[in-house]
Amino acid sequence: MKLSQCVAFVAIADTGSFTNAARALGISQSAVSHAIAGLETELGVTLMVRDRSGIELTDAGRRALEPARGMALQEERVRRAVRAEPAEPEGTLRIGTSQSFAARLLPALMTELHTRYPMLEIVLHEGTDAQISQWLRGHSIDIGIVNLPKRGLATAPLLQDEMLAIVPYGHDGAGRPEVHIEELAREPFLMPVGGVEAMVRSAFRTEGLEPTVSHQVRDVNALLAMVAAGLGATVLPRLALPFALPEVRVLPLAPAIVRHLGIGTRLGSQESPVVAAFVDVARSLAARSDWRRIPLAV
């Protein structure tokens, strides 16, 4: 087994095609194809299946990817050590994130990553918490923002995010310092669909209640507009709220509900310099306080 074969295999898995892998490695596509054919012959298995939409790793390919990535990283470390170069992260980083994380921290996170590590190519995948976890386990992404705890993944705590009640301006509780979840159970409720739905439903059930769901809405902006129009109230995490809101009131919930967000990675990938770079930047931004302020109505 040759290092060049492992490097080609990892490049295909990361870029999604033989063409992109060849471009990233600076070699011909036929050289990439030859390397993979030789690796599959030596291992006696099929590592990937090609179709019009790209490539898909087989079960054997998914099992082989992390060991191959480790060999490729070791080769790069040797090259950098010989040249006495700092190990600046480079390559492609595939990040899984949800809409409930994107409004506040994601723009700052992307800007900081590009500033610190200009050689790092970032590819974003947006999905629900369950989808992000599945993508990590299936090696479709390298890192993801997930709700904790999370079994079967390597995770690191990132931040605690308070859930807030969003009510129309004319709501009975709009002038009070907080809204009890029992009040929300007695009126039309707009259920956020996706990453936080399970947490919202669990909060009601903990109090022995069920929400009167009038609509299920996936898009946060549409959800806020519906609250502003007086169609009901909802509950959203602080991170999901834009810094400027339509005409709604944002109030703390009683009892308080907090979700714990973490950085999820595939088991065995924590030592990657690209992953370490993301963790460092994400934690430094999460420690700031400006993202926690209550947004203003416009």
Task: Please give the distance of CA 14 from its chain centroid, rounded to a whole number.
Answer: 17
Give the pLDDT score at 39.
92
Give the pLDDT score at 241.
86
245, β-bridge pairs: 297
For residues 263 and 282, the answer to whether their CB atoms sit within 8 Å is yes
Along the 298 residues of the chain, how does pLDDT read in single tens digits?
Answer: 788 898 888 888 877 788 888 887 888 999 999 999 999 999 999 999 887 667 888 999 888 888 887 787 777 667 656 665 555 666 788 899 987 777 778 888 888 887 777 778 888 998 888 899 999 888 888 899 998 888 878 888 888 989 999 999 888 776 788 899 999 999 999 999 877 888 899 999 999 999 999 999 988 889 999 999 999 999 999 888 887 777 899 999 988 989 999 999 876 655 577 788 888 888 888 887 666 665 544 4
Give the pLDDT score at 54.
72
The full set of domains in the chain, from first to last, is: 3-83 (1.10.10.10), 93-298 (3.40.190.290)
In terms of phi and psi (left: phi > 0; alpha: psi -120 to 50; beta: otherwise), the region of 166 is beta
